[in-house]
Chain A
Amino acid sequence: GESVGLHLPTLSVQEGDNSIINCAYSNSASDYFIWYKQESGKGPQFIIDIRSNMDKRQGQRVTVLLNKTVKHLSLQIAATQPGDSAVYFCAENPIDNFNKFYFGSGTKLNVKP
């Protein structure tokens, strides 16, 4: 299902450090997951996706980990840069209606120079 948070949790990291952003999804029937990055005043931008038959997927400087047992998704960003500062959302796609995507409440990432 869909979850909407009351406020955005914030993660502050030093430039060059690795960042880990977490997401707990609600529907055990979801089988496709996406991470999005949203900069202020803009629409969300696709970062990386993973399907439920995988535990890990790597992109350029980003890695997504999926733990279906505890319904947990994480996004790891290596060597975080100031341009990574944004709000990050996970989205889940339920297997019983693959036309829908439900978004988490988001995490704000602040990268300190």
Chain B
Amino acid sequence: SQTIHQWPATLVQPVGSPLSLECTVEGTSNPNLYWYRQAAGRGLQLLFYSVGIGQISSEVPQNLSASRPQDRQFILSSKKLLLSDSGFYLCAWSPTGNSPLHFGNGTRLTVT
């Protein structure tokens, strides 16, 4: 069966520090991969998605970037965090487009 792993579960970082969040999927190949952000009490905002290695589509211009160095690995990065980057970051995968997303358990990021 397929599983998705996200780490760390929680993270507290100072303003101006770099960020790297990692997501890996097991049990499938060539999945679509997604990064979403969720502010407290709000819905999910699509940040990036990828349909293959090295292919990244950005939804919202911002302080973040994403990379897909391997088929089942998706990384969310920032060179310098802002206070507004705080939130709950969720990674998800789907076998193809137009099929359900399966989410990890998220990373709670607090920028201080």
Seen from chain A, the residues whose Cβ lies within 8 Å of a Cβ on chain B are 2-8, 32, 34, 36, 41-46, 49, 89, 91, 93, 97-106
Cβ contact within 8 Å between A98 and B102: no
A34 touches B100 (CB 8 A): yes
Identify which of residues 20-68 in chain B touch chain A, using a CB-to-CB cut-off of 8 Å.
Answer: 32, 34, 36, 39, 41-46, 49, 51, 57, 59
Q: Is B100 touching A46 in the complex (CB atoms < 8 A)?
A: yes
**Which residue of chain A lies nearest to B32 when distances are taken between CB atoms in the complex?**
A99
Bound state CA distance, A49 and B102, in angstroms?
A: 13
Q: Is the CB of A105 within 8 A of B32?
A: no
Determine the chain B residues whose CB is within 8 A of the CB of A104 once the complex forms. 43
B-side residues, CB < 8 A to A, are 32, 34, 36, 39, 41-46, 49, 51, 57, 59, 90, 92, 97-98, 100-106, 108
A4 and B106 in contact, given A32-B98, A49-B100, A91-B101 (Cβ under 8 angstroms): no
How far, in angstroms, from A32 to B90 measured CA to CA in the complex? 21
Contact status A99-B49, CB under 8 Å: yes
Docked complex Cα distance between A41 and B97 (Å): 26
Is the CB–CB distance between A98 and B46 below 8 Å? no
Do B46 and A42 touch (CB < 8 A)? no
* A100 contacts B46, C-beta separation under 8 Å: yes
Asked if A5 meets B42 with Cβ closer than 8 Å, knowing A43-B90, A91-B101, the reply is: yes
Excluding A4-B45, A42-B106, A99-B57, 5 further A-B contacts by CB distance (< 8 Å) are: A2-B45, A41-B108, A89-B44, A91-B101, A103-B46
